[in-house]
Amino acid sequence: MAADSAVVADRVAETFAAEVKGLDLTPEVIDELGRAIFETYLDHKVLVFRAQDISAGTFAKFGTVFGRPEEHHVLKLRHPDEPTLTYLSNQNEPGRNKEMKTSGQGWHSDYSYKLVPGSATMLHGLEIPQAGGDTLFADAESAFAALPEERKAYLRTLRVRHQYRWSPDREDPWARWKYIGPEERRKTPEITHPLVRRHPDTGRETLFIQPRVIGSVIGIEGMPEDESTALIEELIAHITSDRFVYRHKWSPLDVVVWDNRCVLHSATTKDLDEQHVRRLLRLTTAGQPVTPSLPEVGHSRLSATSAP
Ligand SMILES: O=C(O)CCC(=O)C(=O)O
Ligand SMILES: [Fe+2]
């Protein structure tokens, strides 16, 4: 698709992810090549642009290539001039709690616990340690394609229950309420998404599942808990097996963008000593309710078992 465009991208993992060569993301280049960059992104699911010495304003403009950039609802997390940008940092930053230093650790797709989950997420590496703090990506679309047809047919019929900060801790099943207050609780009801979704731009099918604790997944709708947990663990192990994973080792000023509609990702910041500073700018674009592979399975909706 992108072969006849001015965007040259080299594959960096077996099934997905590519490094774009010879492009400086100036406002003019973004205007001129935005469409071609977007198509290259649909082809490869994760794009890396090395050594991008760009302003916050230009990074915010880059975000518009991938959809409608979202403004973060927490005002103090926003960049002072660009409301669509926030900082990710492993340092003590004003207005942040300790948990945020390692946010993103564990496999997930951004905002999968919402009725309208995330679309694209992109990061610009401002300060990057010599080693460590890599970001991992897993190609959930190729993982689905690799399954036997009979298995695919079964998985297409299932739905997954999600709720923000769900805790599977048997001793303390309501542990999530320790993290959030009544207003946040009201805004994060239990929802369900189809397990196999159809990408709104490419039409390709993908597994839309995250591990239970990190990904806020409760379980497969209507399935006994032990069976549901075993199935989720099996699928996550398959998606995150080596052949579907790309490990991004950051260099200063890298820009990386990924498609949450078909890949999982994980930070590795828990293993990074805080004396090694890691700061990045982040932007996300608004998504769509999840389209099922089979129409009769239905789109994202409030869970029938959702307590008020
Ligand atoms: O810090 C990272 O490597 C990834 C963080 C993350 O999960 C995100 O920005 O959505
Ligand atoms: Fe994330």
Write out pLDDT tens, residues 106-129.
899 999 999 999 999 999 999 999
Spacing, Cα 150 to ligand 2 middle (Å): 32
pLDDT value at 1 more than 50: no
| pLDDT over 70, % of the chain | 90
User: By alpha-carbon position, which residue is closest to atom 3 of ligand 1?
Assistant: 267
What pLDDT does 178 receive?
Answer: 65
pLDDT value at 236 more than 70: yes
Spacing, Cα 144 to ligand 1 middle (Å): 23
- Pairing, β 46-49 against β 18-21: parallel
pLDDT value at 184 more than 80: no
Section 130-148 average pLDDT: 97
From the number of C-beta atoms within 10 Å of its C-beta (0-12, 13-18, 19+), residue 29 rates as: middle
C-alpha 308/C-alpha 304 separation (Å) is 11
- Model confidence band, residue 148 (pLDDT cutoffs 50, 70, 90): very high
Section 173-186 average pLDDT: 69
What pLDDT does 106 receive?
Answer: 87
Relative to the CA of 135, which ligand 1 atom is closest? 3
Query: Residues enclosing ligand 1, CB less than 6 A?
Result: 88, 104, 110, 121, 123, 135, 265, 267, 269, 282
Which of 4 and 7 is assigned the larger pLDDT?
7
Contact 266, 136 (CB under 8 A): yes
Question: Which ligand lies nearest the alpha carbon of 102?
Answer: 1
Contact 3, 30 (CB under 8 A): no
Tens digit of each residue's pLDDT (9 = 90 or more) over 28-43: 999 999 999 999 999 9
Q: Choose among 240, 237, 235, 238: nearest CA to 223.
A: 235
Relative to the CA of 134, which ligand 1 atom is closest? 3
Relative to the CA of 265, which ligand 1 atom is closest? 7
Spacing, Cα 298 to ligand 2 middle (Å): 26
pLDDT value at 179 more than 60: yes
From the number of C-beta atoms within 10 Å of its C-beta (0-12, 13-18, 19+), residue 146 rates as: middle
Which amino acid would we find at residue 123?
L
Section 78-88 average pLDDT: 92
Spacing, Cα 87 to ligand 2 middle (Å): 13
Section 276-291 average pLDDT: 95
User: By alpha-carbon position, which residue is closest to atom 2 of ligand 1?
Assistant: 267
Relative to the CA of 123, which ligand 1 atom is closest? 9
What pLDDT does 2 receive?
Answer: 43
Tens digit of each residue's pLDDT (9 = 90 or more) over 98-107: 667 777 888 9
| pLDDT over 90, % of the chain | 74
Section 229-233 average pLDDT: 96
pLDDT value at 54 more than 80: yes
Spacing, Cα 108 to ligand 1 middle (Å): 10
Q: Distance from CA of residue 266 to its chain's centroid?
A: 8
Spacing, Cα 266 to ligand 1 middle (Å): 6
Section 262-269 average pLDDT: 95
C-alpha 199/C-alpha 305 separation (Å) is 27
